Chain A
Amino acid sequence: MAVHPPAPHEKTPAPPSVTISDAASPTASHAAPDSAGAVPRRTVLRAAAAGGGALLLGACASRKDAPRHATADPWRQFAGTTLNFISENTAPTAAIAADLRPFTRLTGIRVNIVTLELSALVQKVALDLASGQAQYQVIYADPYQVLAPYSKGLVELRELAAEPDLPKPPGGFDDFIPTQLDAAGRFADDDKVFALPYDCPTMIWQYRRDLFDKYRDRMAADLGFDPMPGEDTTWEQYYAIAEWFNDNADDVPYGTGHQAKQHDSLMCDFSNVLWAHGGGYFDDDPAVGRLGAVDPGPCRLDSDAAIAAAEFYRRLLAIADPASRTWDWDGVGAAFRAGRLAMCPNWHEFAAANEEVMPGKVGYAPLPKGPARRAGMYGGTGIAISANTLPNERRAAWLFLVWATSPDTQLRGLASKVGGGTPTRRSVYDRPDVKAAARRPSPMPNLLTTDAVERTWRPDAIGLRPKIPMWNECDTAVYTEVSRMLAGDASPAEAMRSARRRFDRIIARGWKA
């Protein structure tokens, strides 16, 4: 948990002091029971009980809203307010937490940041929303675990953006990359925005460029195609390259590695292949992924295309590093940096760590195409405001949302020494300095992936898992069945049919937040 300390120049209100009379102590009352001015013990106890009762009632009483000051500066209206921001322990939050002074200087608002592992965050948010309070005014709203199940517990941001006295997001909502605004910010209704895109991890192909350069000609001769990742590279070619490295190169033990632990990561890794083969979770996967739905209809994981994808995935994992079945994204990232793998699909934000360990040796490309299309899983998240907030508290939280997702803050995050994600706004990618940083040598190594991620964010290439309220259970169903398939407990067809049955059972139960 990271809690940002108050800025040195801020005044911290003094804690309420409590003075206890000597007479309140049993010793004092016993020592001089009849002396003038002494308070009998019973009176003290009564007073203590009354005080306790008052405290209890105070705790139960309605909360006090943040004061709004009359000022010409719209950013300073809520100076003195304290906000709590609960976030997954991600790179952009690390960068913001490391330097909140610009926001505090701008607004006079103090922000406490609590960072947690995602599942712990989801629990805290759910319980906070259930409490009817808003211990956390600003929420890291994972589209699948927070936004979809609890969209009714979040503030509709267009209403705040429409208030004339409040600052607007620079460039408006349209400056956010459209697929990201839909996926991370909306749920079920095109007219409402519940979160502003805050980070945008996306799965891409990460490969040892040095080894590909070294063996390019030999591989081309042996395989019959240019192995360098390109626009037309297919998953079958990816398989062939991986197998070639297994058999012919001593530089790395394995050609490919995957995040195939029985975990959310396995669903992410498998979904890239599923979509590329033309399979999907539901009939209208792109819409269910982009806007989301409460009732997505019957599951289609038992389609021929899905079964073909599962067969390919099993074949691919059979030649991958066997430890893949123990790795999530961190595990495969560590193995890649340790020199075990020639290539792997992983989140693009691992680029910074790759460049630190193997500067200049890693290349980044969109994931290969399948028989149907190219698809790279998008894992971005937005930040939202709890609907339990009081009106002014909500407006103060809006100031933080606007500031945290502004181009300047995203740019500062890119250059942060402690992390920093990648921007979610088009205007940032259009800046000359950001474009320059997409080429080596780059002071912002995550930007080396810019070309790969921008091509993946196109509507026809982005991979969006179903945004449904009961996704967590469906997610568990799919990665458990794929794990069973990889362990040899089920054939691809059996695994997909079993996953479909589980999905349908879960969807049939419905969801009530």
Chain B
Amino acid sequence: MRVAGIDIGSRFIKLVLIEKGKTVFFKKTEASFNPLENCFELLKDIRADTIIATGYGRHLLEIHQDIKTITEIKAFAIGAKTIFPKCRTIIDIGGQDTKVISLNEKGIVKKFEMNDRCAAGTGKFLEIMAKALDYRIEKFGSEAVNNSKEIQISSMCTVFAESEVVSLISKGMSRKNITIAIHRAIANKVVGLLRRIPIEDDIVFAGGCAKNRCLKQMLEQSIGKTLKIPSVPELTGALGAALYAEQEVPLTGIGQNLQNFHNEEVENYENRCKESVNR
């Protein structure tokens, strides 16, 4: 049996295909202004016995294709627990939502917190700030690993923070220091959410923003614990949805396979990170 999980986020659509617990295919595309069309584009070449949709746009597919859905909270819980079987806490900074999730020892969601209403402290915020400072999002953060506390971004509203950034630039503050301040503002916001749930090991940092090393480091410093990051953190939700689709199959078997697969990936990833630091 081959099953698919599709995570329709506000910024990207992610697709994962699994067969007998192994990830056989994954793909990511921009959600853009027409997510439904992009979903169809993504799905058109794949063959799957069943599909589960998750993410902000999950109901699009439910309405148009009668595809069953689960929330990204549950999808991330299943995905993270499968990749890191000891996972009890998940941090997901996505495009428009930041979520922190607490799991029991069986991997069932016990409590979660999400940002309210606005894009403050989300990936979108990071993206807008990167743009204001003329960084490519992939690079944003890798230059800011050095921790300086010189300046602070006090406003968490994306709109106001952007003007704060503009005024800092005009005051002659260095791009690097402003970048650090932006990351710190986001990290503080996430820690604020984390304080409302039990923080237990293993803590998994998933979602696209987990690729940002500066954020990882700041979060680790703030909570005094190490974060585990899946090899392709933005696929955690799609993987969780696919695994949910395959639910009848005993999860332990899948977990073993995936653990190996992903541990290798993680090692590669960590090596790549180390290399980038040394460079």
A, B assembled together: no
Contacts from B to A (Cβ < 8 Å) = none
Contacts from A to B (Cβ < 8 Å) = none
